Structure 1
Amino acid sequence: METTSDIHLGQVVRSKAGRDKGKVFTVLNIVDDEYVLIVDGDYRRLDNPKKKKIKHLIVYKTIIEELKERLTNGQKVNNAFIRKALDPFNKEI
């Protein structure tokens, strides 16, 4: 199951509701057609991803290709890698 309403693994998203409103995350896993697991490598780490409704996210067109490849192939990903990948988006704010 790769896509669910145009959401992909490694896609950059921003929360538009909840206490994490305005924060930038990346999609770690797609739970079903309503929920995804998101991480930012800082507040939400890989060992404790946030389950979030897709309707509460602003979905960017950007997909972090290297992260998507690593997740798809089951390779190791760490929090520092995710922080580094999301850094340009956090500077945008």
Structure 2
Amino acid sequence: MPEIGRVVKVLRGKDEGSYAVIVQVLDDRFVLVADGDKRRFDQSKKKNVLHLLMQPVVSHEVADSMRETGRVTNAKLRYAIQKAVQGKGE
């Protein structure tokens, strides 16, 4: 189930194969994702959840920041993705 702060792998589109973090859940089909690098928070991408592979990692730093301020820094997004990818051993 998509939730704010969950790390995802993009399966379709221009960003295919890259990792991102869900920054907003729009409805049961669409979410906004950002990676803090090529896809910054201010220009997050609307993605269909069917085109995303949900990873078992949820970044609590990102979720807490979104809950408290409604924003998250790009550095936090990059850190969350880096931590998730290193944890998988890739």
Change over 3 Å in CA distance of 1:51–1:88 after alignment to 2: same
Q: Distance in 1 between matches of 2:56 and 2:45?
A: 20
Whether contact under 8 Å (1:16, 1:56) holds in the other structure is yes
- Aligned pairs, how many? 88
Q: Distance in 2 between matches of 1:66 and 1:50?
A: 20
Scaled by the length of structure 1, what TM-score is found?
A: 0.85
Scaled by the length of structure 2, what TM-score is found?
A: 0.88
Equivalent residue in structure 2 for 1:73, among 68, 75, 80: 68
Change over 3 Å in CA distance of 1:76–1:16 after alignment to 2: closer
TM superposition shift of 1:30 = 0.5
- Greater helix share, structure number: 2
Percent of aligned positions with the same letter in both sequences?
Answer: 31
Give the structure 2 partner of residue 13 of structure 1. Answer: 8
Give the structure 1 partner of residue 17 of structure 2. Answer: 22
Moved over 3 A (4+): 89-93
- Runs of 5+ in structure 1 lacking a partner? 1-5
Q: Distance in 2 between matches of 1:34 and 1:22?
A: 20
Give the structure 2 partner of residue 43 of structure 1. Answer: 38
